[in-house]
Amino acid sequence: MNTANKQYPFQISGKTTKKSISPNQKAIRADKGFSLIELMIACFVLGIGVLSVTTMIGTSISRNLSSKNDTIAMAVAEQIMEELKAKNFTDAALAVGGSTLQADGRLLFTNPSTGAAYATVNGYFRNISLANSDEAGQTVTYQVRWNIAAAFNDGTSNRLLRITIGARRVPSNLRLPPVQLVFVKGQ
């Protein structure tokens, strides 16, 4: 038998036939690994996937912190809102005035043109310290400011007050903007 060309049986439509395969063809068929280029492309695709997941995790942590801050700031603002709702219209705490409002009705903590903090107005702000859930034994402070404006007054006992409350974490952070709550109190 010739060693250069071996005969291998193959079955084609029920008949067994013999076909000769040269050693070079056998060597090509036996080579079933990955080439270096295929491996580099697979590593590149895998790297893009890992990088994407890592970016999503970082973004998700940041959004989670922002949502947590918004929730706590809103709860603090609601606490002040409930206190103001419970007051009588003759109470001095409901006098028109308070922190600076922008033309669009937003309560301002800082001057938009200079970035300097607006001074607090006595009787229209409060700093509230809470236990920090991220660090045991630490506290976090939220500054709450409000503005009271006359929304309607016909000279009789019929009055409406538009009360705007804003709360932000102290020290302030551009990633954690203040939250705002607006309600109307009627007599």
**Nearest C-alpha neighbor of 183 from the set 155, 151, 142:** 151
Q: Are 127 and 170 in contact (CB under 8 A)?
A: yes
**How does pLDDT run across 9-46, given as a tens digit for each residue?**
555 555 555 555 555 555 555 567 778 899 999 999 99
DSSP structure class, residue 93: G
Q: Is 76 exposed, middle or buried (0-12, 13-18, 19+ CB in 10 A)?
A: buried
The model carries a pTM of 0.67
Provide the strand spans (E) within the chain: 6-12, 15-21, 97-98, 125-131, 139-153, 159-170, 179-186
pLDDT at position 23: 59
Task: Compute the average pLDDT of residues 102-110.
Answer: 84
Copy the structure tokens of residue 103. Answer: 């033309």
- Please report which confidence band the pLDDT of residue 65 belongs to, taking 50, 70 and 90 as the band edges: confident
Question: pLDDT at residue 156 above 60?
Answer: yes
pLDDT at position 52: 94
Local structure of 35: helix, strand or coil = coil
Choice between 103 and 180, residue whose per-residue pLDDT is larger: 180
26 to 2, 7, 21: CA distances (angstroms)? 15, 12, 7
Length of the chain in terms of residues written? 187
